[in-house]
Amino acid sequence: MGIRDRIRNKVNNKEIVASKNSYLEDPNKALALITQILAKRYAENERATALNELEELIKVDLPTILENLQLPDVIERLQRLEKLGFRLGKNERTELFQGRKVVGLGGLFSAGKSSFINGLINGGSKLMLPENQSPTTSILTYVMAGAKDKQNVVVSNQKLEIDADALQALSHEFEEQYHLSLSRFIDCITIETTNFPAEISDEIVLLDTPGFNKSTNKHDKTEVSDREIAFKQLVKADYLIWLVNAEAGAIKEEEVKFLAELDTVKQLLVVFTRADKRDKKNIQEIIRTAEQTLADHDINFYAVTAYDSRAGKEFDDNGYINNFFKSIATEPNSDQEQDSKELSADLLELQTEFANEMKQLRANLKELTKQIKTEKNILATKSLASLSLDIVLQVDRLGRNKAQLINLQEKVKRRVKKIEQG
């Protein structure tokens, strides 16, 4: 059954859940919204295709090519290349954000990220983000200063302005109502507000993400999926504010592991939300413990503080949050051209590794050949000959892998060019 059929069945069967949202009350209006989104989604977009192809080249093709190369740090190299590929995807901000810096807000599910943003935006008096998104149906949401209050969905790098009801409908409620998740069709949401805090530079964009959960079931694959989604979203940020529910009492082990892996951000600020739920002494102890935990795991951080979103006030008036934003405003923007150069340099270095290993193997083969000529023991000669054959086969495999790497480099170069051209 198609999307339109599902929506029309809702109309004919009158299976409408009571709601104050016009898109959830009126299936015809919901259908119109879906039609607009899909029309943009299936428009030709070479850049989006190039990004997906680049990701597959690095995550799928490259590991196969390197499997015969004896590199002790192969995992670290692949992770670095993957992160460089992710960072190249930030080129979308050239059009959407005019070169502004992106501050991501992350944390476990229900850590209070959307409430924190709403608290920053003048107490949330004019801007309300959808706060009931689930990790798997979430949509990246960017909040920035604007000449007027408006919200857009971005589909295939094209903006589609939507009203406040449509924004609120983009949550798991929409999926429950119509059995359709729009998150797989929408790249992100951008919210422009005239209520952007004076303390935060207009050159800064806030990125709201839904977070992830820690599953207690070892056979449950949801945790892995949620974590991967969160990582892929937050790697798009230049800076990170990590939010932790103060009621949890401490930053959790899975959060520490996540932050240790997410090393692409320039600065990290940890904020304990719902500070009003704990007394002053308890909050101070929670902050001290978190600082020690981060230091023990060699995670660099700007500061650890606490915040009461309801009152729109930082704990003890420390001023860490405002100072964090001020420090960001003075830093230069990310250099995408440099990311592209580093990606190319890393791939060339791998090509050199192939050449060096093949050179060493040929030298070993030469020595073995000398030994075979002088060896008088038949069994020893057979053993040396077997080793020689293994080396010949290994050199052949590496030669074919090196040729595949060169071919992959050319493919990467073409994809990067399309990405940079937008």
Contacts of 209 (CB under 8 A, 6+ apart): 104, 105, 106, 113, 138, 140, 141, 230, 233, 234
**28-63 pLDDT per residue, tens:** 888 888 888 888 776 656 767 787 888 889 989 999
Across the chain, which distance is largest between two alpha carbons, in Å? 93
**230-278 pLDDT per residue, tens:** 887 788 788 999 999 998 888 999 999 999 988 777 899 999 998 888 8
Question: In terms of pLDDT, which residue wins out, 45 or 330?
Answer: 330
What are the sequence ranges of the domains in the chain? 46-90+336-421, 98-330
Question: In terms of pLDDT, which residue wins out, 42 or 16?
Answer: 42
pTM, two decimal places: 0.67
pLDDT band with cut points at 50, 70 and 90 for residue 335: low
Q: Which two tokens stand for residue 224?
A: 């892995």
CB-count burial class (<10 Å; 0-12, 13-18, 19+) for 349 = exposed
Q: Which two tokens stand for residue 29?
A: 């209006």
How many whole angstroms separate alpha carbon 68 and alpha carbon 82? 20
pLDDT of 20 strictly over 80: no
Q: Collapsing DSSP states into helix, strand and coil, what is residue 141?
A: strand
Q: Return the pLDDT at 223.
A: 46
Q: Quick count: other Cβ atoms within 10 Å of Cβ 216?
A: 7
Q: Which CATH architecture has domain 98-330?
A: 3-Layer(aba) Sandwich (3.40)
Q: Quick count: other Cβ atoms within 10 Å of Cβ 69?
A: 18
